[in-house]
Amino acid sequence: MTAQPHEHNIISFRKLAAVWATLLVLTAATIAVTRFDLGGLKVIGALTIACTKAGLVIAFFMHMKYENRLLQILLFVAVVTLAIFIGLTFFDVLYR
């Protein structure tokens, strides 16, 4: 196997640990949000936290922050596609 050697993206242990801790805090936040009666905001709150967590995982654990432009654009396209699909689906629920 002749994988390209990665020179620049060895993330320090400290940084990884910080991300991990943030994820834990956000998980706690997810549970905390359910305790309050936020009405419609509840869904938005939960989704915001979830998206932030997913973003952190992708950026650091999956190295996307250090990858080249093309890969980032491709990921972006995939995410936008998914957002459109989910958006149109929610659109139905919203007006039902």
Partner 1 sequence: MSTAEDGRLMAERGFWTDTGKTGIGAWIFSTDHKRIGLLYFYSVLFFFLVGVILGLLMRIELMAPGRDIMGPQTYNALFTLHGVVMIFLFIIPGIPGAFGNMVMPIQIGAPDVSFPRLNLFSWWLYAIGAVLVLTSLFTGGGAPDTGWTFYVPFSAKSATNVSLALFGVFVLGFSSILTGLNFVTTIHRLRAVGMTWSRIPLFTWSLYATAWVQILATPILGITLVLVIAERMLGTGLFDAARGGDPIMFQHLFWIYSHPAVYIMILPAMGIISDIIPVFSRKPIFGYKMIAFSSLAIAAAGSLVWGHHMFTSGMSDTAVLVFSFLTFIVAIPSAIKVFNWVSTLYRGSISLDPPMLFALAFILLFSIGGLTGLILGAPATDVHVHDTHFVVGHFHYVMFGGTGFAFFAAMHYWLPKFYGRMYRKRPAVIAWCLMFIGFNVLYMSMKVLGMRGMPRRYYDYLPEFAQLNLVATVGSWILAAGLAIMLVNLFRGLFRGEAFTGNPWGGATLEWSTTTPPPTLNFIKEPVVTHGPYDFKALADDSPDGMPGDGRNQ
Whose Cβ is closer to partner 1: residue 14's or residue 69's? 69
Residues sharing a CB contact under 8 Å with residue 49, sequence separation 6 or more, in sequence order? 26, 29, 30, 33
* Smallest distance from partner 1 to CB 31, Å: 18
Site for partner 1 in 34-93 (CB under 8 A): 78, 81, 84-85, 88-89, 91-93
Tokens describing residue 77: 């396209």
Tokens describing residue 30: 């997810």
* Cβ(49)–Cβ(29) below 8 Å: yes
Whose Cβ is closer to partner 1: residue 4's or residue 12's? 4
Binding site for partner 1 (CB under 8 A): 78, 81, 84-85, 88-89, 91-96
